[in-house]
Amino acid sequence: MDGVLKESVPAISAITEIELLCWKAATTKDLLTLKSFIGDSVIFELDRIVKDKTVDFRKEYAIRLPDAIIAATAHINDLTFISRNTKDFHKIEGLRLINPFEL
């Protein structure tokens, strides 16, 4: 995992950015760390192609809307999706998924 992160700039969807900043249990220190991470990341906004793929994923895999947006963002932009939550995403064909807790 360290090798992947050292060679890459973090990339997140706009939905992930919002989810991170809405973390209710975050301390002031946590929020500063998150804001620094977000500032160092490429943020992928919603565009028509991602919206269309989101609709496809929602219909085909019956996943929650935020999860469908995040998965569609990774899929369309040819990104490896890193998440501890593999149960909602493992079934999505063509999505490269890594659980960092299993490395």
**pLDDT the model gives residue 8:** 80
pLDDT grade for 5, boundaries at 50, 70 and 90? low
Q: Pick from 34, 22, 59, 87: which is nearest to 97 by CA?
A: 87
Query: Collapsing DSSP states into helix, strand and coil, what is residue 22?
Result: coil
* Domain with 60 in it: 2-102
| The total number of residues written for the chain in this structure | 103
- Domain count of the chain? 1
Placement of tokens 């493992």 in the chain: 90
Q: Characterize the bridge pairing of strands 81-82 and 42-44.
A: unpaired
| 19-53 confidence digits (pLDDT tens) | 999 999 999 999 999 999 999 999 999 999 999 99
**Structure tokens belonging to residue 86:** 């593999």
Q: Pick from 42, 45, 85: which is nearest to 67 by CA?
A: 85
The pTM score is 0.86
Q: Pick from 94, 89, 80, 93: which is nearest to 5 by CA?
A: 80
- CATH number of the domain enclosing 73: 3.40.50.1010
pLDDT grade for 6, boundaries at 50, 70 and 90? low
| 48-70 confidence digits (pLDDT tens) | 999 999 999 999 999 999 999 99
